[in-house]
Amino acid sequence: MRTLSKLVLFGLLAAAGPLSAKLPPPSDEAKAKAAEAAAKTAHAGKVDNYKLCVAMDRVAASYQAAAKKAGKPASAPTDTPACVDPGPFVYTPPGAASAPAAAAAPAPAAPPAMAKK
């Protein structure tokens, strides 16, 4: 029985060897898709935070109105930063964004000549 379990274990280890082979590096297209997916995920997080902020503002306003209607003293609202809408998702690849910016940048002006005294 012990020999059989050793043979099974050895067989499993031998079969697992090729499965642990290293994958080839991703192509440029795959890297671009991964970067776009990461940008979409980051934008989705910003949208979620905006929606949460708006919901918290609605709840706070509702609480203040209900307390005022009931004649109960409500605590003063805490100053918080305004909710900022992230806008629609727009993706610009990193390589495309830096090329026009470099071309649009003006060349540095020559330093002014020193006047002789």
What separation in angstroms does the CA of 70 have from each of 4, 34, 58, 65, 73? 79, 54, 18, 9, 9
Asked if residue 86 lies in contact with residue 50, where contact means CB atoms within 8 angstroms, the answer is yes
Q: CA-to-CA distance for 11 and 15, rounded, in angstroms?
A: 6
pLDDT of residue 19: 65
Please list the pLDDT of the chain residue by residue as tens digits (117 residues): 677 787 777 777 776 666 677 889 999 999 999 999 999 999 999 999 999 999 999 999 999 999 999 999 888 888 889 999 999 999 998 776 555 555 555 555 544 555 554
Q: Which two tokens stand for residue 114?
A: 């020193």
pLDDT at 14: 72
